Structure 1
Amino acid sequence: MTQRRALAAIHLAAVLFGLTGIFGELIQTGAMLITAGRASFAVLALFISVRSQGRRLRQGMGRRDLGILLSAAVMLAIHWATFFVAVKVGGVAIATLGFASFPAFITLCEWGVLRERVTLSEWIILTLVTFGLLLVTPSFDFRDQSTIGLAWAVASGFTFAMFTIINRRAAKHLSAQQVAWWENLFVALMCWPFALPLLGQPSLLDWFWIALLGVFCTALSHYLLVSALTVLNARSAGIVIALEPVYAIAFAALLFAQYPSARALLGGAIMIGAITWAGLRPPRPKPSD
């Protein structure tokens, strides 16, 4: 994949991620069942895709690969579950703006854990994202539902950052569809024991939304993300994916008449502005590990 195609793939993934919060609002059941259901539909879609190409899902995989994929899946399961809780508690706008903090976590983790060099402009971006997040915070009182929702969203952003960093290693010699299939399989296996008591809740329409969420916003978006990570580093990918709130807030305003407060919009504008500025800079090549 060329760098131009990788950027196109990551932008399409951002649009699909933006729809995730919309489905979370539409589906009338608990976060754990949504997570288990979307992962299961994604597993089915990816299995059909891989097998139709005549490839095996274990091709080129060793025990170490399974360990990395399992670690990434743990982060992915927590990310999805906390994000859907954030949507249910705080609404689509708060959930997606809180999630948009994850590039800051990527920068901190790659600097503090992986010891990668972080440029001055990236530190400025991190500072602006943090300041914007403070403005997005409805209040600093955890009796406020919106504040609780934002806390869940920030937790979702942190675990997505960890997932993105781990996937850099998983994507090295395995196909994107392989990585996505195994990670979604592990997520489904981890979540179904907790989701089974909720099976009676969703309507037929809810299952339809979960299927769309699994096929398009999970299987396809996951494939696009992992493909892009074979070319882009985690920060470059994260900067584009963090544009998700733009799409999510627009969809939520159009479909549900959910509008963030003026202060949240200002904070979101600062965050998105910093992210967009970073995205306009020439992307750095992905470092070799």
Structure 2
Amino acid sequence: MKQAYFKLHIALILAGFTGIFGKLITLNEGLISWYRLFLSSIIMIVFFAIKRSMSSTTSPDKFKIGFTGLLLGLHWLLFYGSIKYSNISVGVVCFALSSFFNAVLGPIINKKRVSFQELFLSGLTLCGIALIFGMDAHYRTGIILGIVSSMFSALYTLYSERIVKQHEGGTFLLWQMVGGCIGLTLVMPLFFLISSTVSIIPSTADFGWLLVLSSFCTVLMYFLINSALKKIPSFTVSLTFNLEPLSPSCLRY
């Protein structure tokens, strides 16, 4: 259990840099999310090509794992949209609402009793969001995107918790990234209809940041998160990530 918490907090530190990359990369939120999934998929494919061994997974399980990847991709898209329309601090603070959505949606998805303790602890975040929302109308679009993003983050954590224990960590992450990339590819045409973009090809600098983002803040980070979910409840994972506003993202910006 101690090892699981250690992995979770290392993942939390890595998560703190994702917002910074969202500002450094000049692509829009949709392309950042797609390239992040695409490059992460390539990294995992290369890893297993070198390793030359992978746990077998049935097609239905691949679909279920891939669905969690799509939820993750939609979370990223909205999270980076929140940052683009406001700033890193607002986007990260809104992300803290994932524990609240976890407390609300968890009993529905897992068919269990509502925990009023979880609702109280996670509901405290609502006060901070309401305060920010009322202070500056300029950030409201970013806040709304951030709130919806946190809901998808909670769904990702809840569904991953249900199936991650049945699979080897690397294999689970591979199909998660591949499924998310395929799913987000199908969503991108709709995204381009409502959001204009200057270029879909990243610059050299953008590609470099995307590669770092994919390697450390995606493949490594989500391997640690998925590993922690095998031992730690999804609500605890979501609540721990409420500490992300204290991460490097907000220290720099």
Shorter-chain TM-score above 0.5: yes
How far off its partner does 1:7 sit? 0.5
- How far did residue 170 of structure 1 move? 2.4
What letter matches 1:171 in structure 2? V
Q: Does the 8 Å contact 1:14/1:242 carry over to 2?
A: no
* C-alpha distance in structure 2 between counterparts of 1:6 and 1:203, whole Å: 38
Aligned to 1:77: 73
Aligned runs of 1:32-43 on 2, under 5 Å? 32-43=30-41
Match of 1:45 in 2: 43
Aligned to 1:135: 131
Taking the aligned partners of 1:116 and 1:245, their CA distance within structure 2 comes to: 30
User: Contact 2:17/2:249 (CA < 8 Å) preserved in 1?
Assistant: no
Decide whether the 8 Å contact of 2:11 with 2:225 is kept in 1: yes
**Is residue 156 of structure 2 the alignment partner of residue 163 of structure 1?**
yes
Q: Which moved more, 1:111-120 or 1:98-107?
A: 111-120
Q: CA deviation at 1:18?
A: 1.2
Aligned to 2:235: 235
Match of residue 150 from structure 1: 143
Provide the C-alpha distance between the structure 2 equivalents of 1:190 and 1:199, rounded to a whole number of angstroms.
Answer: 21
Take 1:77 and 1:207, find their aligned partners in 2: how far apart are those partners? 18
Tell me the equivalent position of 1:107: 103
**What is the match of residue 53 of structure 2?**
55
Aligned-pair distance for 1:159?
A: 0.1
Name 1:203's counterpart in structure 2. Answer: 203
Query: Which residue of structure 2 aligns with residue 279 of structure 1?
Result: none
Q: Report the Cα offset of residue 243 of structure 1.
A: 1.4
For residue 241 of structure 1, report the CA deviation from its aligned partner. 2.1
Matched-pair contact (CA < 8 Å) for 1:106–1:235: yes
**Structure 2 unaligned runs (5+)?**
none
**Would you say the 8 A contact 1:92–1:252 is kept in 2?**
no
- CA distance in structure 2 between the aligned counterparts of 1:165 and 1:138, rounded to whole angstroms: 30
Query: Offset of 1:36 from its aligned partner?
Result: 1.3
1:76 maps to a residue whose letter is: L
> Does structure 1 retain, via aligned residues, the 8 Å contact 2:133–2:140?
yes
Contact 1:17–1:221 (Cα < 8 Å) also in 2: yes
DSSP 3-state at the match of 1:29: coil
2:75 and 2:200 map into 1 onto residues whose CA distance is 24
AA paired with 1:81?
Answer: L
- 8 Å CA contact retained: 2:66, 2:177: no
Asked if structure 2 preserves the Cα contact closer than 8 Å seen for 1:139 and 1:147, the reply is no
Q: What letter is aligned with 1:166?
A: Y
Please say if 1:245 is aligned against 2:245: yes
Q: Is the contact between residue 104 and residue 126 of structure 1 (CA under 8 Å) also seen in structure 2?
A: yes
Q: Equivalent residue for 1:275?
A: none
How far off its partner does 1:249 sit?
4.2
Separation in 2, partners of 1:127, 1:250: 22
Deviates more, 1:180-189 or 1:85-94: 180-189
C-alpha deviations, 1:138-160, integer Å up to 9, x for none? 458xxx33111011011110001
Give distance in 1, aligned partners of 2:169 and 2:113. 27
CA contact (8 A) 1:93 1:248 kept: no
- Per-residue deviation at 1:200? 4.6
Q: Deviations over 1:228-265 (max 9, x none)?
A: 11111101111212211210443433xxxxxxxxxxxx
Query: For residues 154 and 248 of structure 1, what CA distance do their matches in structure 2 show?
Result: 21
The AA in structure 1 aligned to 2:18 is T
8 Å CA contact 2:66, 2:178 repeated in 1: no
Greater alpha carbon shift after TM alignment, 15-24 vs 62-71: 62-71
Instruction: Indicate if the aligned counterparts of 1:167 and 1:226 stay in contact, CA closer than 8 A.
Output: yes
SS at match of 1:60: coil
Matched-pair contact (CA < 8 Å) for 1:138–1:146: no
Contact 1:13 1:241 in 2 (8 A): no
Q: In the TM superposition, what is the alpha-carbon distance from 1:115 to its structure 2 partner? A: 2.8
Q: Give the one of 166, 178, 192 matched to 2:171.
A: 178
Tell me whether 32-41 or 118-127 shows the greater mean CA deviation. 118-127
Identity of aligned residues (%): 22
**TM superposition shift of 1:15:** 1.2
Alignment of 1:191 with 2:184, yes or no, is: yes
Gaps of 5+ in 1: 254-289
- Kindly indicate which of the two structures has a greater share of residues assigned to helix: 2
